[in-house]
Amino acid sequence: MKNANGIRVYENLREIADPSHSCLVVWDVQNGLVDRVFNRVEFMSSLKRLIDSVRGRMPVFYTLVTPLPVSFRSSWSFYSAMRRFNVADPNKLPPFMAPGSHEAEFPMDARPGEGDVVLRKSTASIFLGTDFEPMLRNRDIATIIFTGIATEMGIESSVRDASNRGFYPVVVSDCVSSMDREAHERSLKNMRKLCVVEDSAAILRALETQ
């Protein structure tokens, strides 16, 4: 650890991921997305092992996709959904993550536990429309460890926002996934230039010494 005019600067993964100033984010790990990723079995196995290992040692935040009421959605949200689902008429878009649906539920292997925090959100950034940032500031959390779906969308968007806000963003490479393997790999390559990207084995080794 270095000191820059009274500011602590962490130098390695052990310091960055210290549980005393870190939290884990489980981003959008819901049935409707988990069932569509390219590597479901491997992804869920790595994610469950990581969650089980850090729970009780640092705060765990789950995000829950919670769409806005149809009459309050933006024009852009309709346009992007039409592209994603290849639908020409916005009135014929399929329901997406409807509250109470099986699609919106957390999978059995990665459900929130006692003391975990569930954040309802409608954007691709954990910082927009939630109390996430003030909650971290209240706990003096400096490091956000990101897991979940999709790598090139909510994960990368939230990582960039975290960096811009002065947090240490850490992406767990085998605990993030996507419906598009090429986009997932491209996003990880991008984020290696922006933040800390390590696999779960490296994270767990760093935590073993804490």
85 or 197: which leads in pLDDT: 197
DSSP run (H or E) holding 76: helix 75-85
Structural domain including 97 reads 2-208
Q: Mind listing the pLDDT tens digit for each residue in 131-147?
A: 999 999 999 999 999 99
In the chain, the number of structural domains is 1
Six-digit token string for 149: 């779906």
pLDDT score for 97: 85
pLDDT score for 98: 84
pLDDT score for 100: 87
pLDDT at 210 over 80: no
Query: What is the rounded distance in angstroms from the CA atom of residue 33 to the CA atom of residue 48?
Result: 16
Q: Mind listing the pLDDT tens digit for each residue in 163-204?
A: 999 999 999 999 999 999 999 999 999 999 999 999 999 999
Q: Mind listing the pLDDT tens digit for each residue in 93-121?
A: 988 888 889 999 999 999 999 999 999 99
pLDDT at 122 over 90: yes
- CATH code of the domain in which 202 resides: 3.40.50.850
| Measured CA distances, 104 to 42, 80, 100 (Å) | 21, 20, 7
